[in-house]
Amino acid sequence: MLVSTKEMLTKAKAGKYAVGQFNINNLEWTKAILLTAEELKSPVILGVSEGAGKYMCGYKTIVGMVNGMLEELNITVPVALHLDHGSYEGCYKCIEAGFSSVMFDGSHYPIEENVAKTKELVAVCADKGLSLEAEVGAIGGEEDGVVGAGECADPDECKMIADLGVTMLAAGIGNIHGKYPANWQGLSFDTLDAIQQKTGDMPLVLHGGTGIPSDMIKKAISLGVAKINVNTECQLAFSAATRKYIEAGKDLEGKGFDPRKVLAPGVEAIKATVKEKMELFGSVNKA
C-alpha cells in the first residue's frame, strides 16, 4: 500500500540520511526502482512530473500500475507516489487519482498567493493523510530553453511556508535541474544552514540531484536535507545502456529485437544508478 512521505522523512531527518525521489517514465522505470528499493530495504519516493503523467496516460493509469506492482512484486518497503512540481490543478487531480503525496510548486506565484494556495492544500492533504511538498524560490535549470543559475531562497520566506504545515520544503540553494554547467558555483551551505535554523525539524528537499558531487550531497544531508530528487541521472544511464546495446548490433542477433531484450540493459542501468544513490544518501536498510 502506498504511504505518505511523512513518517519516512521524519525518520530520515532525525537519522541524518535522505530518501531518494526517483522520477518514473514507464513500467520499466517503475519496476527497476521498486525492485532496487526492496532489495536494499530502503524507503523510496516515486516522482511523477505532469509531463510524465500525460505520457503515461494520466494519473489513474499510474496509480493502477504502481499499486499493481506493489502487490505482484511483494514490495514491503515504504513507497510514496508523489506529484513532482505540481500545478494547483494538478495537485487536485493526483489527490483524486490516489497519489499519496503531492508537490505544489507555487514558486511562480507572488508570495501571498503561494501562501493562500499552499494553506488550502495543507488542509486537503491533512484531511486525507497525504504529504505535501512546497517550494520557496525558484530552482534553476533548463526550463523553457533558459539555463538558470540556481538562485537561493530567502530563509524567512522558507519559515513562513514551513509554518503553514507542509510536510517537506524544497528551497533553492544554488541547485539546478538537469546537467550542471562547468562553471557552476556549487551549493550554498550558508543558505541551507540559515534555512534549517529557521525551519527546525522540517525535512528539506534537494532538487536537481544529478551531478552534485558526493561530498556536497553528504554535507547537505548533515544540514537537514532529507529528500533528494533524482531524475536526469537515470535518464542518462538508461540512454547510454540502450545505445550500447543497439550500437553493438545486439538487436540484430537472434531474438535480440524482442522489446524485453532491447530494454533490459537500460533497466539494469537504472537499477545500478538507484542503488548507488540509495547508498550515497544512506537510506539502505532504513525501511
Active-site residues, by number, are 84
Q: Which residues pair with 81 in a beta bridge?
A: 46
> 148: which 3 cell numbers?
538558470
Q: How many residues bind Zn ion (CB under 5 A)?
A: 1
Stretch that binds Zn ion, among 7-15, 161-169, 203-211, 256-264 (CB under 5 A): 203-211
Q: Identify which range of 112-120, 188-196, 201-209, 210-218 contacts Zn ion by CB under 5 A.
A: 201-209
> How far apart are CB 187 and Zn ion at their closest, in Å?
15
Measuring CA to CA, which residue among 127, 135, 121 is closest to residue 90? 121
Point out which residues pair with 102 in neighbouring strands.
Answer: 83, 132
Does residue 6 belong to the site contacting Zn ion (CB under 5 A)?
Answer: no
> Is the CB of 13 or the CB of 207 nearer to Zn ion?
207
Identify which of residues 65 and 171 has a Cβ nearer to Zn ion in the complex.
Answer: 171
227 binds Zn ion (CB under 5 A): no
Considering only 116-124, 204-212, 232-240, 255-263, which stretch makes contact with Zn ion by CB under 5 A?
204-212
Provide, rounded to whole angstroms, the least separation between the CB of residue 47 and Zn ion: 8
Residue 100 CA to residue 121 CA, distance in Å, equals 13
Kindly state whether residue 207 participates in binding Zn ion, applying the rule CB under 5 A.
yes
**Of residues 42-101, which lie at the interface with Zn ion (CB under 5 A)?**
none
Give me the least distance between CB of 72 and Zn ion, in Å please. Answer: 30
Please say which residue, 93 or 207, places its beta carbon nearer to Zn ion.
Answer: 207
Full DSSP string of 203-265: PEEE---TT--HHHHHHHHHTTEEEEEE-HHHHHHHHHHHHHHHHTTGGGSTTTTSHHHHSHH
Give 182-188's long-range contacts (Cβ < 8 A, gap of 24+).
Answer: 184/150, 185/149, 185/150, 186/216, 187/212, 187/216, 187/219, 187/220, 188/152
Interface positions with Zn ion (CB under 5 A): 207
